[in-house]
Chains A and B, each alone.
Chain A
């Protein structure tokens, strides 16, 4: 029930029993119940709350440029949160996801500026690197049976060290710059970091990437066997294996998915800012997890939503920029974040309990 979009299914479902006056009331309760069991409901309510709050207390929040600003802030976080939500529904964590966004930026930048590769070729090399790290994460988790928390904590630390060490080795500093003069910068920049002008407002293309990633992830989750497998391996990988789900393949693919998302975000960042700092990305991994959890993902796996994670990221972006617009001290952001997380988890938990009662 958690995985159904209401309309086409409701139409296809057989109407049990004779039509009577009670039917309409029944239908209404059912609609309410269907709404309640959606994992993203809590995050949507939270987003509305934050949206209304900052629309009221600031002038800029609702202006086109204000909207573009907080959407932009949400976009790269959202891309990662969506990928991380798939992984979390599949029952795993990836603590290396944040630092991977920096690693992929650095790989692209080093190949393009230090080795003189065409930007596209550098991006391809960076993608191969990301897929490899994702595969290794997944393979190690599945091979050792250790919690992904530990395995990816190790890869997080190693990547952090590699980022600094290799960057210093190649450039003598802790940053790589000069992307603008690399061959192929213009065309790749157009794909990953261009802006559009809509009614005089500048919109970052990263927002489109965010929407695209959310749509694809949601579709995979709801409409493909791979989506079913993700829920199944997250709920109980032993059961999933027993009924013939390729558990190892599914989980490794999920780790490779987060790595690919990190590559996408890394590519957007390096082409937009043309400089990559070796110490970027640290701490972001927790934000991804927070956004996914606010969006309805369970830490224990087997339950959650890609759309919810995207909305969770949206809450982040709105709050972070809203606090700036309201000229509050940015110190308050963390407090807000913690409160938001707590509220979302409590609300999601309450809804889920109700949802479980509903199903009986």
Chain B
């Protein structure tokens, strides 16, 4: 597909003698919401890391925004326009919401290397806009994120990822650590991204969530991509059997 914004072809990654990924293809179109599912150790995280520059692939090619890319670091990928929200959230606990939203890309009043003067009013104004457009409700922007609920923190992290003119957002298990209500809130934020046309790839273990939120599902098993399905044309049972490999054995397969 020529119109994919992010495309990977024949990705392989070895850790010692173990193949974490073998000849994996993946692509996502602009505005598409996709999910990557698979059992523990299937290679989801490794693929995400390869796509976002955290790991270098041992084989294969990656195209982003029409160009072949070789990301050397997450920062590299971020500069190109791929934002990742990691499971561990990547927020600085002791900083306030505004500082977190702009960490590493601060706005300046005066530029003087690391000793530039921050433009705090501009950052605060833009932070308010970012949170509003992402649908994140934070009563006090000046409170540090340490005391916030998991849902609020995840909201800040997603707003941060979505607000910076990024073209693809990657969410690594965005609700894994959240309660029911918080999960619902974060899912609402993700639906908001869809309405805004933001491209999103998520890793999730929660099939209900995956079927609720995304357009396409990619299934990994033992480091191989076993298939891509449109959510509208597949049943959860089929996805489960693809994940476990049970379509061939009927019943449980132990690995």
* Residue ranges of A at the interface with B (Cβ–Cβ < 8 Å): 1-4, 9, 12-13, 16, 220, 223-226, 228-229, 231-232, 234-236, 238-245, 249-250, 253, 302-303, 356-360
In-complex Cβ contact of A4 among B78, B86, B114, B142 (8 A): B142
Residue from B86, B115, B139, B148 with most neighbouring chain A CB atoms (10 Å): B115
Residue from A242, A250, A357 with most neighbouring chain B CB atoms (10 Å): A242
In-complex Cβ contact of B124 among A12, A224, A356 (8 A): A12
Is B146's CB within 8 Å of the partner chain A?
Answer: yes
**Are B146 and A224 in contact, CB atoms less than 8 angstroms apart?**
no
Is B92's CB within 8 Å of the partner chain A?
Answer: yes
Bits for B56-78, please: 1 = Cβ < 8 Å to A, else 0.
Answer: 00000000000000000011001
**Are A220 and B115 in contact, CB atoms less than 8 angstroms apart?**
yes
**Are A244 and B104 in contact, CB atoms less than 8 angstroms apart?**
yes
A94 to chain B, nearest CB (A): 19
In-complex Cβ contact of B114 among A238, A242, A253 (8 A): A253
Which residues of B (93-115) have their CB < 8 Å from a CB of A?
93-96, 99, 102-106, 108, 114-115
**Are B116 and A225 in contact, CB atoms less than 8 angstroms apart?**
yes
In-complex Cβ contact of A224 among B86, B104, B118, B140 (8 A): B118
B149 to chain A, nearest CB (A): 8
Residues of B within 8 A of A9 (CB): 142
**Are A1 and B142 in contact, CB atoms less than 8 angstroms apart?**
yes
**Are A1 and B75 in contact, CB atoms less than 8 angstroms apart?**
no
In-complex Cβ contact of B115 among A224, A235, A302, A360 (8 A): A224
Is B91's CB within 8 Å of the partner chain A?
Answer: yes
Question: Assuming the A-B contacts A224-B117, A245-B103, A359-B147, are A13 and B142 also in contact, with contact meaning beta carbons closer than 8 angstroms in the complex?
Answer: yes
The A contact surface, by secondary structure, is: helix
In-complex Cβ contact of A225 among B93, B114, B148 (8 A): B114
Cα A302 to Cα B92 with chains together (Å): 8
In-complex Cβ contact of A358 among B84, B121, B139, B147 (8 A): B147
Question: Assuming the A-B contacts A1-B144, A13-B142, A228-B106, are A240 and B118 also in contact, with contact meaning beta carbons closer than 8 angstroms in the complex?
Answer: no
Given contacts A3-B95, A244-B75, A302-B93, 14 further A-B contacts (CB under 8 A): A1-B140, A2-B144, A220-B115, A224-B116, A225-B118, A226-B114, A228-B103, A228-B106, A242-B86, A243-B90, A243-B92, A245-B104, A359-B143, A360-B148
Question: Assuming the A-B contacts A357-B147, A359-B143, are A242 and B96 also in contact, with contact meaning beta carbons closer than 8 angstroms in the complex?
Answer: no
B3 to chain A, nearest CB (A): 29
7 of the cross-chain contacts (CB-CB < 8 Å) are A1-B142, A225-B116, A225-B118, A228-B118, A238-B88, A239-B90, A242-B84
Residues of B within 8 A of A16 (CB): 139
Residues of A within 8 A of B94 (CB): 2-3, 231, 234-235, 302-303
Nearest-neighbor residue (CB-CB) of B113 within chain A: A226
Question: Assuming the A-B contacts A243-B103, A356-B147, are A229 and B114 also in contact, with contact meaning beta carbons closer than 8 angstroms in the complex?
Answer: yes
Is B89's CB within 8 Å of the partner chain A?
Answer: yes
B132 to chain A, nearest CB (A): 13
**Are B117 and A243 in contact, CB atoms less than 8 angstroms apart?**
no
Nearest-neighbor residue (CB-CB) of B149 within chain A: A360
Residues of A within 8 A of B96 (CB): 1-4
Which residues of B (131-167) have their CB < 8 Å from a CB of A?
139-140, 142-144, 146-149, 160
**Are B92 and A232 in contact, CB atoms less than 8 angstroms apart?**
yes
B48 to chain A, nearest CB (A): 13
Question: Assuming the A-B contacts A235-B92, A239-B92, A242-B90, are A228 and B116 also in contact, with contact meaning beta carbons closer than 8 angstroms in the complex?
Answer: no
A145 to chain B, nearest CB (A): 17
Residues of A within 8 A of B147 (CB): 356-360
Nearest-neighbor residue (CB-CB) of B103 within chain A: A243
Nearest-neighbor residue (CB-CB) of B79 within chain A: A244
A221 to chain B, nearest CB (A): 11
Cα A238 to Cα B95 with chains together (Å): 15
Nearest-neighbor residue (CB-CB) of A244 within chain B: B104
Cα A253 to Cα B115 with chains together (Å): 12
Residues of A within 8 A of B140 (CB): 1
Residues of B within 8 A of A303 (CB): 94
**Are A235 and B95 in contact, CB atoms less than 8 angstroms apart?**
yes
Nearest-neighbor residue (CB-CB) of A239 within chain B: B90
Cα A295 to Cα B75 with chains together (Å): 35
**Are A232 and B95 in contact, CB atoms less than 8 angstroms apart?**
yes
Question: Assuming the A-B contacts A239-B90, A244-B78, are A359 and B116 also in contact, with contact meaning beta carbons closer than 8 angstroms in the complex?
Answer: no
**Are B121 and A12 in contact, CB atoms less than 8 angstroms apart?**
yes
Nearest-neighbor residue (CB-CB) of B111 within chain A: A225
Residues of A within 8 A of B74 (CB): 241-242, 244
In-complex Cβ contact of B88 among A12, A239, A359 (8 A): A239
**Are B99 and A3 in contact, CB atoms less than 8 angstroms apart?**
yes
Question: Assuming the A-B contacts A3-B95, A357-B147, A359-B143, are A243 and B124 also in contact, with contact meaning beta carbons closer than 8 angstroms in the complex?
Answer: no
Cα A231 to Cα B142 with chains together (Å): 15
Cα A4 to Cα B74 with chains together (Å): 30
Cα A342 to Cα B88 with chains together (Å): 33
**Are B121 and A226 in contact, CB atoms less than 8 angstroms apart?**
no
Residues of B within 8 A of A358 (CB): 147
Residues of B within 8 A of A242 (CB): 74, 84, 86, 90
**Are A225 and B89 in contact, CB atoms less than 8 angstroms apart?**
no
In-complex Cβ contact of A356 among B78, B104, B146, B149 (8 A): B146
B225 to chain A, nearest CB (A): 26
Cα A224 to Cα B75 with chains together (Å): 21
A38 to chain B, nearest CB (A): 12
Residues of A within 8 A of B103 (CB): 228-229, 232, 240, 243-245
